[in-house]
Amino acid sequence: MKPAGNLKRGEFVLYQNDIWQLQKTEFYSPGKGSAVMRTKMKNVTNGKSIDMTYKSQESVETVEVASTEMQYLYKDTENAFFMDQHSYEQHTLLLSVIGTIINFFKEGEAMFVYVYNDKPLSIRPPASVQLKITETEDAARGDTVSNAKKEAIVETGAKVMVPLFIKQGEIISINPETGEYTGRV
């Protein structure tokens, strides 16, 4: 149990006999009345998101989860498949639970998966991933508008907006949570 005022993004809570991951937390203190914690939670079993508001002193049941390194194998239309690198057990996670960050991961990469009672819940995305650009148009001469962007396709098939000076074959750094270009490697 933990006071709602101390909740942080990324933590797991028990709500309606199900485990939810906090996607967003915002402490709000109105001029009068008691302070509240506004949260956006995502269900780890079906990917459904809800907004929830707690009074700051209200007790919330948190769930302690382990972070285990697993190898990302592949994905199909509904699931992503991972393998525990120690026991060689395969696990599946719904794509609706993982979200769009899966589009930035290469097959065979190691990543951390949140596990509770030997059941995978969600993944812990890295701060950035490095991917090679497989397709993009060359910038036309004279395109010098500040912060101008063009679309590029990276080796995983995901589309990313990049600055005009980026060329095909270059390796770039991307924030997988936002899908934004963060720099050249």
CATH number for position 90: 2.40.50.140
CA 59-65-69 angle, 5° bins = 155
Distance (Å, rounded) from C-alpha 122 to C-alpha 128?
A: 17
Residue 129 tokens read as 């991933």
- Residue 171: domain span: 129-184
How many structural domains compose the chain?
Answer: 3
Lowest mean pLDDT among 45-59, 112-126, 140-154, 156-170: 140-154
Residue 11: CATH number of its domain: 2.30.30.30
- Model confidence at 174, in pLDDT bands (50, 70, 90)? very high
Closest alpha carbon to 46 in 122, 125, 113, 123: 122
User: At which residue do the structure tokens 């750094």 appear?
Assistant: 173
On whether both 84 and 50 belong to a single domain, the answer is no
* Residues of the chain above pLDDT 70, percent: 96
On whether both 30 and 71 belong to a single domain, the answer is no
Distance (Å, rounded) from C-alpha 168 to C-alpha 51?
A: 41
Q: What per-residue confidence (pLDDT) applies to 140?
A: 65
Contact 69, 85 (CB under 8 A): yes
Q: What per-residue confidence (pLDDT) applies to 181?
A: 92
- The span from the first CA to the last CA of the chain, in angstroms, equals 43
- 71 pLDDT more than 80: yes
**Has this prediction a pTM greater than 0.85?**
no
On whether both 57 and 32 belong to a single domain, the answer is yes
Mean pLDDT of the chain: 88
Q: What is residue 6's three-state secondary structure?
A: helix
Give the residue from 124, 140, 169 where a domain finishes.
Answer: 124
The dihedral formed by the CA atoms of 181, 103, 178 and 12, expressed in degrees to the nearest 10: -150
- 9 pLDDT more than 70: yes
pLDDT in tens, 126-149: 889 999 999 988 876 665 666 788
On whether both 146 and 170 belong to a single domain, the answer is yes
